Amino acid sequence: MSATSAPSVPPVPPYGPYREDCPWCGSRRLRARLRGDGPRQGAPHRSPVERCADCRHVFRNPPLTPGPEHPLVRAGVRFRHRLAARALYRHCPEPESWLDVGTGDAEFPRAARTHFPYTAFDGLDATHRVLRARAVERVEEAFVGRLTDPHIAARLRERYDVVSLFQYLERVVDPRAELRAALRVLRPGGHLLVDVADPRRLLPVHPLGLGAELVAQGCTILTGSRGHRVVARKDGSAP
Ligand SMILES: [Zn+2]
């Protein structure tokens, strides 16, 4: 966000509780990294950013909790949706099936459909918003819950050509477990799209541990291992 005089005061974002451990690896060796983009000490409504000394994951602490978003933020998100869809299209232009995880009102599938008119999009979300998204035909199938729920994991196992985690991993308590669960619902040879929120745009908020984890889980990183958007392919046949 620019530092020009704001037309109106944005709403104060709600913050979650401060956490003592790294959401990526569990380490408690956290270091404050940067303050907000306000004055040196940071505007009081800005969440500081911390860095894990062990895995180098960078994250907001306390985290932003999901809530109604500012219109400017929403416009930025729509732009990111289009960029993310295009990034995937370069590697996987014709997927038949796609699961968007943490889809909410299925804004991302709606945007991605421009590039993928013949793809069947399904949505998964912890809230019932995804049912509303199905009612207005933004997704074909709607699942309420988490990928780590055993009944969902069993039902969706190796079912999708594409699984997208759009600004999702940074909102969950155990991102590593969620990432592994996402890979399990992806068929071998399928593509994973991860987009990590970077509200301040200049910070490398992308967890460096993500690329290593994907490789360890048998994936090939196709793009963006150091950006905030990663496209990876799940290699090999099913174990
Ligand atoms: Zn860590």
**Paired sense of beta strands 97-101 and 141-144, if any:** unpaired
pLDDT score recorded for residue 210: 79
Q: Within a domain: residue 60? A: no
Give the span between the Cα atoms of 2 and 201, in whole angstroms.
11
- For residue 156, the enclosing domain spans 71-234
What is the 215 CA–ligand 1 centroid distance (Å)?
17
Give the span between the Cα atoms of 13 and 47, in whole angstroms.
9
Q: Looking at the 3D structure of the chain, how many domains does it have? A: 1
What is the 199 CA–ligand 1 centroid distance (Å)?
20
What is the 32 CA–ligand 1 centroid distance (Å)?
13
At 71, which amino acid appears?
A: P
Q: Within a domain: residue 130? A: yes
Q: Within a domain: residue 48? A: no
pLDDT score recorded for residue 173: 80
What is the 203 CA–ligand 1 centroid distance (Å)?
17
Q: Within a domain: residue 226? A: yes
pLDDT score recorded for residue 141: 98
pLDDT score recorded for residue 63: 72
CATH number, residue 165: 3.40.50.150
Q: Within a domain: residue 38? A: no
Question: How are the residues of the chain apportioned to helix, strand and coil, as percentages rounded to the nearest 5?
Answer: 25, 25, 50
What is the 29 CA–ligand 1 centroid distance (Å)?
8
pLDDT score recorded for residue 229: 86
Per-residue pLDDT of the chain (239 residues; tens, 9 = 90+): 444 444 454 454 556 678 888 888 888 999 887 654 444 444 445 567 888 888 888 888 877 655 445 666 677 788 889 999 999 999 999 999 999 999 999 999 999 999 999 999 999 999 999 999 999 999 999 999 999 999 999 999 999 999 999 988 877 888 889 999 999 999 999 999 998 875 343 333 445 577 888 888 999 999 876 667 889 999 975 44
Q: Within a domain: residue 87? A: yes
Task: Give all strands of the β-sheet with 58-60 in edge-to-edge order.
Answer: 30-34, 49-52, 58-60
What is the 24 CA–ligand 1 centroid distance (Å)?
5
